[in-house]
Amino acid sequence: MTAPDFSKGCAWQRGEYVPIGQASVPLTDWGFLRSDATYDVVTVWEGAFFRLDAHMERFLRSCQRFRLDPGRSPQAIVEILSECVRRAGLRASYVEMVVTRGQPPWGSRDPRQAVNQFYAFAVPYVWIANEEQRRRGLHVAVSDVQRIPPASVDPKAKNYHWNDLTMGLLGALDAGADTVLLSDAAGNVVEGPGFNIFAVRAGRLVTPAEGVLEGVTRRTVIEMAATLSLPVEERALPAAELRMADEAFLSTSGGGVLPVTRVDGQVIGSGVPGPITQRLVDTYWAWHQDPRYSTPIVY
């Protein structure tokens, strides 16, 4: 028999490892039918997980919030993630763990009767901004589409309720921007598809406190800022204040700290990635070498 080709990635599903192109979720799983699922993404850089403990902690907290059960211990989950990376032979990887609601018995609408399902996969590292965008800085549009309010879907538990983000992103891309930020009903920016936002004013970092996923990279930026003696304010960030910032950047597992140099067509600061943003970029990648945050994979 021909050995499976894991060169494009490896997935774990229903008790077996399969090439990423063969991975699937049953059509009747509520994770597919209703976006009834939670997930988390941890990255691998130079053969080691970055902040694996923080991602596992958030994943299990999200499972608890949505009353989902991965059905295995944290140690067992880590071993599955590691094996996906090993089989794919990836030294830089985007690694996702997922729990779906599964399917209750036919005719039942009771989610308590569903058998939850665990999935995982590892694919090559994902950058949400290309090399040119990282060099010059991103152009971000603030959308008229409002983010789902926290009273409806808890944003602190990672979820697939992305239609608002998708509609906002389509509008931003059609208008010539690189990506999008959604706002709340009061006109404060909150988050974008897969990232948090930071503004820099007079040497102080400002990031939204409500209506956002508390990203692990966001947490990392806040911790880095403390080591660099940069004050951080977690509070409402009006879109008008963001447009007047000295610097701005995104935080995401898909690239770390990514500079923003235009918002709604308006130049931010000098129009190039600023010095504080660059310090945080350099520190972020330096922390990948710190054993406090790095979990090597045995290949």
- pLDDT at 1 exceeding the cut of 70: no
Return the pLDDT at 198: 98
Q: Where are the beta strands (DSSP E) in the chain?
A: 10-13, 16-19, 37-45, 48-50, 93-100, 117-124, 138-146, 179-183, 188-192, 195-201, 204-207, 232-234, 237-238, 247-252, 256-263, 266-267, 294-296
Look up the CATH architecture of domain 10-124: 2-Layer Sandwich (3.30)
Interval 282-294 mean pLDDT: 97
* Nearest partner of 163 among 138, 146, 142, judged by Cα: 146
Phi, psi of 59 (to 5 degrees): -60, -45
Question: How confident is the model over 26-38, as pLDDT tens digits?
Answer: 999 999 999 999 9
Instruction: Report the distance separating Cα 240 and Cα 263, nearest Å.
Output: 10
Interval 223-227 mean pLDDT: 98
Confidence of residue 201 (pLDDT cuts 50, 70, 90): very high
By the 8 A CB rule, do 125 and 10 touch? no
Interval 96-112 mean pLDDT: 96
- Please, what is the average pLDDT of the chain? 97
Return the pLDDT at 3: 86
Domain ranges of the chain: 10-124, 131-287
Question: Identity (one letter) of the amino acid at 31?
Answer: G
By the 8 A CB rule, do 47 and 91 touch? yes
Q: Is the dihedral of CA 69, 120, 43, 203 positive or negative?
A: negative
Instruction: Report the distance separating Cα 145 and Cα 190, nearest Å.
Output: 11
Return the pLDDT at 2: 82
Instruction: Report the distance separating Cα 299 and Cα 284, nearest Å.
Output: 25
Question: How confident is the model over 121-130, as pLDDT tens digits?
Answer: 999 999 999 9
- pLDDT at 68 exceeding the cut of 80: yes
131-287 under CATH 3.20.10.10, yes or no: yes
- pLDDT at 206 exceeding the cut of 90: yes
Instruction: Report the distance separating Cα 241 and Cα 126, nearest Å.
Output: 30
Return the pLDDT at 184: 96
